[in-house]
Structure 1
Amino acid sequence: MDTKKKWLIFWGILAALFVGSFGIVLSGNFPQFTIPFSVFASDDKETKKEELPKLNVLALKDVNDQTLLEEQTKKIDALNTAFADNNSFSSSQAMSDAIEKVYGPAKDGKNIFDLYRKIYPMVSSEESGFVSVNLVGFGQRLVDDQTMTTQRQVWSFTDTSGSRHDYTVNLRFNDKELNELTAEDGSDVKSIITKDDTYLDKSADFETAWTELIRRGTDTQLYRQMEKAGMDSNQTEFKALEKSMNITDPSGFFELFKDTRGDITHAYLSGFYHTNTPTDGQSDYYFRVPTSAKDIATFVVVYDRLQQKIVSINRQ
């Protein structure tokens, strides 16, 4: 093919392309190209931070321990007066009437019947008799977000040989009803509580100690660092933090730090319980910690009232 023909073919093809392009412009039918959005999407997906619920708190500042103690000792005195009459033990119904007169109607009468059946060997024989009811512990707890008073009692009986028989009775109640009653054989009582125990009014001291623990122990930045590293309780910075806590046995602080995600204000007070044991008076303070939208962990903070110091923190 000569050069002239080659040029004719070239210009013919070029003209055809030009006419075709011009036709597309006039018709508006531009070719469409789709680029997947995923090309621009980042591989790093941000996880939405879980919102933890806020829980109701037992208002410790509204509690006067001494007034609460006087209310409990009055109930104990009323029980002892009622049980001084042997007719109060003549039947489960008679005993139930005596108890409900002091604590209000029982939510479940079977609990009182079970207690009567347990002590029946002591009240059904002339060779044994009732001695006394003593208070060994008391406090308050939030139950379904309602404040309930708690008592731990020891019921003592004796037989003709002089042997003593104890039963431990736990009660939970409010102004309207006796919400719960449980009983067990024996007792581990070391010291009973009386209305003369004036040093029980120590809630303000605990609040001071707890506020200081929150101030020292809250460190969300350290928590995030530990979370990335696998939450090792032996991490150097955490060990330094743990050592700075004014706690006799700080070993349980790690679990509290972990569950509150480094912010101790996320531990919500739900109750307390006072005793005179082991020798100088111990109080247990109960805290609830939301660990997810539905799950809650419970911690017991043991406090020495005489030393005014937190003894330990235990996850239940």
Structure 2
Amino acid sequence: MEVFLRSKSFFVHVVLIFGFLGAPRVYASEPSLTLDYYTSTCPTVFDVVRKEMECAVTSDPRNAAFILRLHFHDCFIQGCDGSILLDDTITLKGEKTAATNIHSLKGFGLIDKIKNIAESDCPGIVSCADILTIAARDAVILVGGPYWDVPVGRKDSVTASFELANTNLPTPDESLLSIMSKFLYQGLSVTDMVALSGAHTIGMARCPSFRSRIYGDFGSTSIKNPISESYLSNLKSICPPIRGGNNNITAMDYVTPYLFDNSFYQILLNGEGLLNSDQEMYSSIFGIETRELVKKYAADPLAFFQQFSDSMVKMGNIINSESLINGEVRKNCRFVNT
């Protein structure tokens, strides 16, 4: 009976949230997305992306998280169309300065560098959206994560949406039900949500993203032991309770911050998730399904890797119909072609 009531409550909450978002947007995978799209037109593109990503991640492992986050933020706004890469102009309001993006996105220069090489090899052929998608896959591999084949053939959007950037992307303090609704809105399942959240096994978070968590329910969710207490104390030294330290950062996975593995889920089992939105997957009363998935991935890294790969392909295939009709291959990822 308790499970039924919780499930019913979850359904009601999701319906209410969708009422505010509007009807779920319908995306379609572009017919031309194939594994061999560039075989005859730009056969070097995958090698170019891999080589540049190897150099970047070797130089600074954080580049892997930067590129992976860019890809996620791109796909969730109006499909995987490179709109996140556009700079503001007189006639276009980009997505980079939205509240959800302005302090959290880096790696634009690396994508520019890869694009310049691709343009030199194959002018006007490879879209920025494809470069970002391939680079995100390579980023994961380079820090120990799984391989997956990347379908390509995306077009770059000639538009961006500052408004959708502020509404469609999950935020660190958001409730589980609200975040579920945002994934469902993109055609991604609860399983996809839990697996894709595992990307937080690499990357950093700024103090404002976890301040309410460490001065809120962190103590009640975490295991009472010296390691957990020391971790919380360290977090509080990084992030003061009221003001200051907003640019201070810390790893979302303090165990293996530069290794793509399943320790992120083990941290959630200990109640030590840095972000409220992450810990909710295990601790929320509505997390009936998510809790079991967290347990599964914490215990079975291969299951996590397989599902993460599948979910990344699924997310990468979110294509806005607008980019299908009016998309282009940008010469410069920061600006639409003139």
| Greater fraction of residues in strand | 1
| Structure possessing the higher radius of gyration over alpha carbons | 1
Q: TM-score, normalised by structure 1?
A: 0.25
Q: TM-score, normalised by structure 2?
A: 0.24
Higher relative CO (CA 8 A, sep ≥ 6), structure 1 or 2? 2
| Greater fraction of residues in helix | 2
